[in-house]
A and B are shown apart, each in its own frame.
Chain A
Amino acid sequence: GQQLNQSPQSMFIQEGEDVSMNCTSSSIFNTWLWYKQDPGEGPVLLIALYKAGELTSNGRLTAQFGITRKDSFLNISASIPSDVGIYFCSQGGSEKLVFGKGTKLTVNP
């Protein structure tokens, strides 16, 4: 089945630093979705990407849908303590949705 390779697995950064994480797949996707999970809660959608090459921002977050349609990245600028959590990528466009294993972000104040 489809697999999403998400990296890095974890990140430890200082407040104010920029963060970059990415997701790659062996299959072509029509949709890339990025979610954030706060401790003890369910994932919440951050950004949805529907077109190859699309670059979308949501506040300090920026995500891009790769031209090959097999990858996507998420950047966080000027990190703050509330950015702590697990970030997941997910594909869309099929019934059997697949998620990456997540990037766990720790921000030191």
Chain B
Amino acid sequence: NAGVTQTPKFQVLKTGQSMTLQCAQDMNHEYMSWYRQDPGMGLRLIHYSVGAGITDQGEVPNGYNVSRSTTEDFPLRLLSAAPSQTSVYFCASSLNRGNQPQHFGDGTRLSIL
């Protein structure tokens, strides 16, 4: 099993550009989530999904959209990138909502110029 796969690993964008960060898991997990990690801030929840067709906002959702059309995939979209969105983004999944340990991808390092 590959676990949680994130692509791309690195990306540089210009302010105003749009982009989709991809996340796929092959463990048949119901719960998937996106976090951003900034120095000294830990991991902050952006959006999460408890199953296909269901998404909800986390702590810092502004500027990001998500969709969950399949159990396996949970893409994160930046519609108009801003320098404040420069960060490392992690996707994670778990068997079901909340109570189970999260399996994390290796992250996408995103820079907005």
Contacts and interface: CB of A to CB of B under 8 A. Distances in A.
Query: Is B truly associated with A?
Result: yes
Interface of A: 1, 6, 9, 30-31, 33, 35, 40-45, 48, 88, 90, 92-102
Interface stretch (B38-46, B66-74, B75-83): B38-46
Contact of A101 (B4, B41, B92): B41
- Label chain A's interface by main secondary structure: loop
B40 A101 contact: yes
A95 B40 contact: no
B26 interface: no
Nearest to A33: B101
A88 B99 CA distance: 16
Contacts of A97: 33, 45, 48, 98, 102
Nearest to A104: B40
Contact of A96 (B48, B100, B103): B48
Contacts of A88: 42-43
B104 A95 contact: no
Contact of B105 (A1, A31, A42, A102): A42
A96 B45 contact: yes
Interface string B76-113: 00000000000000101000011111111111000000
Given A88-B43, A99-B43, A42 B58 contact: no
A6 B42 CA distance: 10
Contacts of A42: 4, 90, 92, 104-107
Contacts of B98: 31, 92-95, 97
Contacts of B92: 42
Contact of A45 (B31, B44, B102, B107): B102
